[in-house]
A and B are shown apart, each in its own frame.
Chain A
């Protein structure tokens, strides 16, 4: 028998017996950031492509949610800091190798951008809206004029944000579960998928809903493909990664992962969307909320299981 144990009673809070440094705030933050990234991605992409008329939900309505999502996400991140009084240190420096730094800065870019974006549409969506201060009208006019530039910046930022939420974890190759290049694309795909789900929910036209349903279906297919690949990758890797994968293949995270992430979050929505495309009437609220549920579970499961996966002992 092999026995490997710490005999000096190491019991560092949040590190032992398994790492538990990140709590609900981080997966929530990743999820909200991901949804916002998804929405803003589609908004700016279709705006650039000139589909303003065709996809009003994507370009105009859904972005209104994003400042809230981003602020709540940022708030969650803040809540999980252990040394909160020093929060501002994040903005004294930019550390190119640190995904956290990227995240902090990109949120600083994209949050105001999303607000500006919404501001340029508000009069259109809410007739009778007028700014309290006249100089805001001037600003609005200015931003409206440069919407295309804003859209480009926003597109890039949204991609960075979306990718970042995935990269954040896979940058931590200290955790065998996160130590895979598939996590980035997977989270990005999931961001787009959850973003699309929100747009679907808000879309009034059948056409818009339909197109996002198709997009989503593709994204789900990509996610499934990535998940399968991820497990194959783990199984073909070192023992610690096999152990990590085993948390989902009979281990502690098996049920939540397969039931909530894969079945509820991917397979069922996919089936519903296919049915929808085949002409059956499926309440969109069901499909969308399942996708969002899957998205949130994916973050939770990966964040928690990742912390439980380790190299030593």
Chain B
């Protein structure tokens, strides 16, 4: 099983609902976030193009954050999700420095926190909070190992890109373009 997310940049309106719902679902302290929205505008008025991306941890299959963690707090878990075990984390920041996506942050309690793909929900059969709330339904979540899963189908149908492939992290976030 390889859990992954596909983000339709053509449908996303950048409303940040995914960010707010993550905040409440996961009690992310105000002023911190596990996901964020990037807007890219290209061109000259009135010849313009816009891309909106809802970004979060890429749950990399070859993740430098797991590699560089000195304690094993960062590890691969259910469905390949990269998780941090708070009581094993010493807050050394190595994983934060190692993440090319700046997807991690030091939680005010000291340990490092990041998107968990809402593993607590996923294990219960619920989609991640951000996926569940997205008003444009532009987030697809599922198992890319399962050829018939919705996400596999959408990845077959649509063109996509992944972020900073040259970093060699083998990310599991797909941006539909």
Contacts and interface: CB of A to CB of B under 8 A. Distances in A.
A83 B99 CA distance: 19
Given A21-B96, A92-B71, A174-B99, A81 B91 contact: yes
A174 B111 contact: no
Interface in A1-45: 1-16, 19, 21-22
Give the interface size bracket for B toward A.
35 or more
> Most chain-B Cβ atoms within 10 A of its Cβ — which of A77, A171, A173, A174?
A174
Contact of B90 (A86, A95, A173): A86
Contact of A312 (B31, B43, B92, B102): B102
Contacts of B67: 97-98
B41 A3 contact: yes
Interface stretch (A99-107, A141-149, A243-251): A99-107
> Most chain-B Cβ atoms within 10 A of its Cβ — which of A1, A3, A15, A90?
A15
Interface in A70-96: 77, 80-87, 89-90, 92-93, 95
A313 to B, nearest CB: 7
Give the interface size bracket for A toward B.
35 or more
Interface stretch (B1-9, B133-141, B143-151, B160-168): B160-168
Interface of A: 1-16, 19, 21-22, 77, 80-87, 89-90, 92-93, 95, 97-101, 103-104, 171-175, 238, 306-307, 310-313
25 contacts: A2-B40, A3-B42, A4-B38, A6-B36, A6-B38, A7-B37, A7-B38, A7-B39, A8-B35, A12-B105, A14-B93, A15-B106, A83-B86, A86-B110, A92-B71, A95-B72, A98-B68, A98-B69, A98-B70, A100-B92, A101-B70, A173-B64, A173-B98, A174-B101, A312-B101
